[in-house]
Structure 1
Amino acid sequence: MSHNAEFTEQDWRRFLASIGEDPDRPGLHETPHRVAKAWKQWTAGYEQDPVDLLKAFEDGAEQYNELILVKNIPVYSHCEHHLAPFFGKATVGYVPNGKIVGLSKLTRLVDCFARRLQVQERMTMQIAEALMQVLDPKAVGVIVKCRHLCMESRGIRTPGEETVTSAMLGELQPNLAMRTEFLAMARD
């Protein structure tokens, strides 16, 4: 997906006018440019291939067959229904099957999918499925906890509520002991 800043800036000028603002007012003069630039950054995940982010390597993984977990990965996304922000933290874990990935790549994977218009449930599955596809691990677990401004600032208006989603793939589905260990490690 390519971003056309000039078109987007015009759209934001029209948006400001449509809500009763004057886009030429001094305080708003640069707003269309700033908003266009912000949305380009907030939607940069469309230009990333998750497979390219997950360069796997075998060196160091040959003997390791326990859970690898990264907790408290920041999530900043926008819901596709209202374009409202949702934000929180993700926990991503896997049990290698001869291949591992750099730990920072798990954070980048979460960010790649978060920087798209999303629903939390789909994003959670996309993260898990990308790891399964690239690493072919024994198991993958993803837990995402987010606050949604579409719920907090409009409609039901329930500040502070968290939505929790999870994806358990591979051996985490049938293996209760492994699932229990993952959930214990993922706890705050």
Structure 2
Amino acid sequence: MSDVVKSLSARLNPAADKSVATPTREEAEAAVRTLIRWAGDDPSREGLQDTPKRVAKAFREFYSGYGEDTSEILDKIFSEVEGYNDIVLVRDIPFYSHCEHHMVPFYGVAHVAYYPTKGVVGLSKLARLVDAYARRLQTQETMTAQIASTMEKALEPRGVAVMIEAEHMCMSMRGIQKAGAMTLTTQFTGIFKEDPAEQVRFLTLIRNGRS
């Protein structure tokens, strides 16, 4: 296995899916107080006294994806679909994530599709899969590949297509400060990768009905 393949494999199965020593809540709150002082404020003043507790609590929600076993989300497949084997698409799945480089938000929508073979999964499970990977420290490119890879392994479909559209606050509120700039990433497997016409169909279905 080449170094490039090893690197990609490791990134698609990140530390998020491995056991990591977790600091205590007290240690987390102390770290927040340090960052408040670094920002130039006084963590002991009235308006900031409870901020470390709130931030620690918020982190549990922001990064709840670390507690999700993504291999189990798509483990129930319904085979009784009356012979249906055409495309299944869930579009405009909203998500909120945090850039692993600056820990500031990026957010947008995900579109996921597949051609079933052995059956279909509940549509809400696809949204849950997106959320499980979004609620971690991420890059949009990696998140796109992770969703596609998990669907490919769990469903063994004829093909998977994933597209993510997102605005990154690390680009909007800092650095070059270009608010409104959107980043698009895609990942195709199977028939979607082999046949450009299937990619066109996927993109057309996403855009259908949009102004």
TM-score, normalisation: structure 1: 0.95
State the distance in 1 between where 2:136 and 2:104 align: 12
Would the alpha carbon gap of residues 186 and 4 (structure 1) be closer, same or farther in structure 2, given more than 3 Å must change? farther
Partner of 1:154: 174
SS in 2 for 1:157: coil
Partner of 1:120: 140
Partner of 2:129: 109
1:34 to 54, 62, 65: 54
Q: Which has the higher helix share?
A: 2
1:19-168 equivalences in 2 (<5 Å):
19-61=39-81, 63-168=83-188
Gaps of 5+ in 1: none
State the distance in 1 between where 2:107 and 2:68 align: 20
State the distance in 1 between where 2:56 and 2:40 align: 19
The number of residues matched between the two structures is 188
Deviates more, 1:175-184 or 1:134-143: 175-184
Partner of 1:184: 204
SS in 2 for 1:171: helix
Deviates more, 1:58-67 or 1:160-169: 58-67
How big is the shift at 1:3? 5.9
Determine what percentage of the aligned residue pairs are the same residue: 43
TM-score, normalisation: structure 2: 0.85
Partner of 2:26: 6
Gaps of 5+ in 2: 1-19
